[in-house]
Structure 1
Amino acid sequence: MKLRQVAHSRTGDKGNISNISLIVYHMKDYEKIRKEVTPEKVKSWFSGIVEGEVVRYELPTLGAFNFVLNKALCGGVTRSLSLDAHGKSLSSALLEMEIDDE
């Protein structure tokens, strides 16, 4: 199944760093996402975009995760020629990730 079936997301940016918040619709899906959506998998998912480390922060009380993607915005908004210099579409792109539906 697509990640978007069990979660929604928001994206923010600061300089050359993008952060993606991933929030489950139902708490029963939190553990599944915790196991499957690892920093390594997110970095691989964004290969060619994210050049630095991906760090995941867990917020279990909120049913959320925050992924910090370092070196992800081609030097930052004022230095990038990218059509999406703020990285706002990265949250939608993450929701396309396939996860196990069990």
Structure 2
Amino acid sequence: MSASPSITVPLHQAAHGRTGDKGNRSNISVIAWHPALWPALVEQVTPAAVALQFAHRQPTAVRRYLLPHLQAMNFVLDDVLDGGVNDTLNLDSHGKALSFLLLELPLQLDARLLPHLRSAR
């Protein structure tokens, strides 16, 4: 029996995100589009992978909280908002757009999961 081929897709085809912030800390939730995608998300969307995706923002800590019954995870990134709303000249000091950066993370998926992905729009 041969293994199913793998495909590479951006995370946004497998999940959607929500973002919040408080001070210099950003929360980014990642929610699978389909339960069949959850195991691959847990395996690949790790604190280390997220820290690497945000390396240019130099987070001092990245923590992941799993919510398996919701097929969701929440990341807390410390010190990624240039000081926060009151302390920065950054145009997006709220960090609302940071989920889009995370949703570009490439995933390696079994091709059999293709029917559960959202197509690029």
Q: Please, what TM-score do these two structures have when normalized by structure 2? A: 0.82
Distance 2:94 2:24 in 1: 9
Which segments of structure 1 move beyond 3 Å, counting only runs of 4 or more?
A: none
22, 25, 35: which one aligns with 1:14: 22
- Unaligned 5+ residue runs, structure 2? 1-8, 111-121
Q: Partner of 2:19: helix, strand, or coil?
A: strand
Deviations 1:50-101 (A, max 9, x none): 3310000000001100000001111111101111100111101111110102
Structure whose CA Rg is larger: 2
RMSD, matched Cα: 0.7
The 5-angstrom pairing of residues 71-82 of structure 1 reads: 71-82=79-90
The counterpart of 1:48, out of the listed 38, 53, 56, is: 56
What CA deviation, in whole Å up to 9, does each residue of 1:13-50 have, x standing for no partner? Answer: 00000010000010111110000011011001001213
Residue aligned with 2:43, SS: helix
1:96 aligns to what SS in structure 2? coil
Tell me the residue number matched to 2:96.
88
Distance, in Å, in 2 between the alignment partners of 1:32 and 1:6 is: 9
Would the aligned equivalents of 1:50 and 1:69 in 2 still touch at CA under 8 Å?
A: no
* 2:47 paired residue among 36, 39, 42: 39
- Aligned residues, how many? 102
Percentage of pairs with the same residue: 47
1:18 is paired with a residue whose SS is: strand
When normalised by structure 1's length, the TM-score is 0.97
Gaps of 5+ in 1: none
Structure having the higher helix fraction is: 2
Q: Are 1:67 and 2:75 an aligned pair?
A: yes
